[in-house]
Structure formats: C-alpha cells, structure tokens
Amino acid sequence: MVIGGDGYCGWATSLHLSNKNYEVAIVDNLVRRHFDDQLGLDSLTPISSIHDRIRRWRSLTEKDINLYIGDVCDFEFLSEAFTSFKPDAVVHFGEQRSAPYSMIDRSRAVYTQQNNVLGTLNVLFAIKEFGEDCHLVKLGTMGEYGTPNIDIEEGYITITHNGRTDTLPYPKQASSFYHLSKVHDSNNIAFTCKAWGIRATDLNQGVVYGVRTDETEMHEELYNRFDYDGVFGTALNRFCVQAAVGHPLTVYGKGGQTRGYLDIRDTVQCVELAIANPAKRGEFRVFNQFTEQFSVNQLASLVTKAGEKLGIEVQTTSVPNPRVEAEEHYYNAKHTKLIELGLQPHLLSDSLLDSLLNVAVQFKDRVDTKQIMPSVSWRKIGAKPKTVSA
C-alpha cells in the first residue's frame, strides 16, 4: 500500500513496485493537486489525472494498481482500505512535505502538523488493528537532524555520560514546522514499535532530484510531476528550470547550506530494498536515504557548468535567505545501511544534469517565472491567512 502514491516520490515508487510484480494499492486524497490550485502553481511537466495514469499503466503492462481516494486522517476510510487490500507493507509518503508551505501562516503550520502527525498515528493504529505483521516504511527526512557540529549517525548515537554508556535516538533539531512534524512522527513510531511490537523503517530521505524513472518514461500519461516554484520546488530541480528560462540561480544567503541529495531512481530502489528486507517485529529501524552531499553553492556551480555545455549562459544571484538556518556549517552524515542492503546509487553526473536541463528546456514554455522567487519568510510568518502567489 503506497500512501501518497499520486505524488512525486509515491507515483514513481508505485509504478516501480508494480513493475517488479508487487501487488500495489495507491492511497491518496489528491490534496497536493489542490495545493497547486490554491496557490496558483503547476508542475513543469504536464501530469495526467490519477485515473488516467492508472488506466494507461494497465493498458501498457496489463498490471492493475488498486486505488483508494481518501484521507488517512479519516480513520474509517483508512480502516476500509486496510481491510479490503490487506497490505503486507505500507509505504507512507502521504504528508504535506514542503517546509515553506508549513511556514506561510498559522493555518498552514497547524494543517501540516495535524495532517502529518495524525495521519501517521492513524496508520499506526490501522496496522495494530488490522495487520499486526505489516511492515511500515515511513518517509522521514534528513532535516530531522538539523546541522549539528558532529557527524550525523543513522538514527542512533552511542553516548558515554558520567561513566555510563547507552545507545540513544540521535538528537533532533528540525528547522521548520514541516521538518518538526517528521520528528513527532518518528517519536510516535518508535513508541508504538516498543509498546505494540510494530515493525517499522524510518527512511530519513535527503533532497530528491530528477524526474524520469524507467516506468514514468513509458508514456506521456505516466509523466511524473516536477515542482520548480518557491514553495514546493527543491534546490537542484529549481536550479535546472531557472537555468533553462534564463533566471539567475537563487542561492539563499551564503550558499554553504549542505544537505544529502539523491536521484529519484534511487528513491524507488531504496523503498524496494526496505520492503524486501523488512524490520523485525518491535524494531524501529532508521536509514539515512541519500547518496551524496552538496552545498547550495556547489549545486549552482554544477548547473552553471552543465549549462555551458548546452550553450546556456547561467548566472547566480544571492537572495536574502527567507529561512532561518545555518549558512556555513559542518556536515557529515552516515549513509551506509541502504548500500549494505544492495543500493546501487545513480550519482549526480554530467549526463544526468544534461538530461535534467533538457527536460527543463523542453517544457520551458510552461514555466511561470513569477513563481520562482521565494515568497515565504520564516521570520515573517503570521497568524493571519496569507495568499503566497498574490
């Protein structure tokens, strides 16, 4: 069961798992498409409705994907989906995933935490009630750890304090109401693994880039979404679109912000590996899911070089940082557990950047350049409802 299977990571994963002969059900309330309507945004790539996507997949492969349209915060709906599909594994992508969206105003901050924390709590109760053996594969985020001045471990750290030693959850220092919702999820999942014997894997994923996977390439009705706007667009994807339309790359502040990144083709591989090698009953397993670290300045320089090769002149501008975050810091995060399970990373290469830039160029007429600059400020978040695109 792929919760959030109509979204960016979830759609690619659903097709990948279906292609690998897993029986797949997508659960989604389509709220992500509603956010686009609400804020006047659109994917760079044209995306079909979930019904057309699934019909097209069936006509190409003769494989069925089950579909449950509804909200995981509605326990009655979720219970029905669980009892009818009876999943062996639940992959939970179904959350509000934008840090800027969660910092627009009070109502979006509250919505983000309500949707994410209560949705996950319902999933935990559904597993306890209807499928105790079901493995929860939950999408967390590397941002749960923040940017501490020591190495980041995978979920746990062994500490000796006043002569005694223990292995404890790695400290969390998230820096948006969205990233904090993931910390709250992790705590709830860890507790229910202990209390009820739930088996769970928390995939602390870095920033995802790219758009093509083997399956989404099969037909234009299977295309994945590609966000480039200041609310849902993520760093490298945004930079490629900015380069394609001749907009200077928007480096926030000093640009030393370093994060873990991975190709969307590795997202789908990691989820498959987690499902194929489930956590034990009662185990709360944490994997850091990224393949390489980059600072924002490094990304800008890689895109500038890739642009040169394609004859595009790329400029960079320093934008006053709309976020409250360290702009120069130490960053060294472990990421060995998925490699040990067999992950074969697609590292960011010149060829990938060329093809991403080419996708951006192909669809550049669809770009609304007014959506590129950041419009949400961490410092100016207010209680009153705000329309960001205004």
Q: Which residues are catalytic?
A: 141, 178, 182
The contact pattern for ligand USQ, residues 227-246, with x = CB under 6 A and - = no contact, is: -------xx--x--------
The contact pattern for ligand USQ, residues 327-366, with x = CB under 6 A and - = no contact, is: ----------------------------------------
Q: Across-strand partners of 89?
A: 135
The closest of 206, 147, 209 to 175, measured between CA atoms, is 147
Q: Which of residues 196-215 bind ligand USQ (CB under 6 A)?
A: 206-207
| Count of C-beta atoms within a 10 Å radius of residue 213 | 22
Question: Of ligand USQ, ligand NAD, none, which one sits near residue 235, judging by CB under 5 to 8 A according to partner kind?
Answer: ligand USQ
Whole-angstrom distance, CA of residue 112 vs CA of residue 35: 12
**Do residues 125 and 199 lie in contact, with contact meaning Cβ atoms separated by under 8 Å?**
no
**E strand or H helix at 289:** strand 284-289
Question: Of ligand USQ, ligand NAD, none, which one sits near residue 112, judging by CB under 5 to 8 A according to partner kind?
Answer: none
Identify which of residues 10 and 87 has a Cβ nearer to ligand NAD in the complex: 10
Question: Of ligand NAD, ligand USQ, none, which one sits near residue 54, judging by CB under 5 to 8 A according to partner kind?
Answer: none
- In order of 34, 37, 208, 295, 369, the CA distances from 41 in angstroms are 10, 6, 19, 27, 11
Whole-angstrom distance, CA of residue 208 vs CA of residue 240: 13
Question: Of ligand NAD, ligand USQ, none, which one sits near residue 212, judging by CB under 5 to 8 A according to partner kind?
Answer: none
The verdict on 98 binding ligand USQ (CB under 6 A) reads: yes
The residues near 256 (Cβ < 8 Å, ≥ 6 apart) are 295, 296, 297, 326, 327, 328, 329
Question: Which one-letter amino acid corresponds to residue 378?
Answer: W
In angstroms, give the least distance from the CB of 101 to ligand USQ.
Answer: 9
In angstroms, give the least distance from the CB of 26 to ligand USQ.
Answer: 19
**Do residues 266 and 339 lie in contact, with contact meaning Cβ atoms separated by under 8 Å?**
no
Position among 10, 119, 260, 307 found at the interface with ligand USQ (CB under 6 A): 260
Which residues contact ligand NAD (rule: CB under 6 A)?
3-4, 6-10, 27-32, 71-73, 93-97, 115, 119, 139, 141, 205, 207-208, 234
In angstroms, give the least distance from the CB of 58 to ligand USQ.
Answer: 30
Q: Which tokens belong to 319? A: 């934008």
The verdict on 388 binding ligand USQ (CB under 6 A) reads: no
The verdict on 367 binding ligand USQ (CB under 6 A) reads: no
Whole-angstrom distance, CA of residue 291 vs CA of residue 155: 16
**Do residues 180 and 173 lie in contact, with contact meaning Cβ atoms separated by under 8 Å?**
no
Identify which of residues 2 and 67 has a Cβ nearer to ligand USQ in the complex: 2
In angstroms, give the least distance from the CB of 139 to ligand NAD.
Answer: 4
Tell how strand 292-295 and strand 258-263 pair up.
antiparallel
**Do residues 260 and 206 lie in contact, with contact meaning Cβ atoms separated by under 8 Å?**
yes
In angstroms, give the least distance from the CB of 262 to ligand NAD.
Answer: 8
In angstroms, give the least distance from the CB of 184 to ligand NAD.
Answer: 13
**Do residues 93 and 365 lie in contact, with contact meaning Cβ atoms separated by under 8 Å?**
no
Which residues form the interface with ligand USQ (CB under 6 A)?
97-99, 141-143, 179, 206-207, 234-235, 238, 250-252, 257, 259-260, 296, 323, 325
